[in-house]
Amino acid sequence: MMYAYMTLADGTEIVHSQLLEKDGKKSVEVHFERPTEDGFDTARCSLPTYEWLIHDGYTDAEIADFEVFLKNNAHLLYRFAENGGTRCA
């Protein structure tokens, strides 16, 4: 299951997975997607390794910015993933 996290000013939607566990290790996948004239730019990163699973349409500079974003938000992404997403009033 994927949960909405935020939308950036350029239209990039950021969503995250539920808390994943394999071999006793917890992880979260974070997906970035931005609409284009021909479809979508897409990127997906696995935390805590920061391994990019998908990288299509975003520049290397944008991916580097996303890594900074992820490092600043990883603690929240893990918390929300464990609790079933963010809670909206």
pLDDT per residue as tens, the chain (89 positions): 899 999 999 999 999 999 999 999 999 999 999 999 999 999 999 999 999 999 999 999 999 999 999 999 999 999 999 987 766 43
pLDDT at position 89: 38
For the entire predicted model, the pTM comes to 0.90
β partners of residue 42: 33, 56
pLDDT at position 83: 87
Beta strands in 1-89 (DSSP E): 2-7, 13-17, 20-22, 25-36, 39-47, 51-56
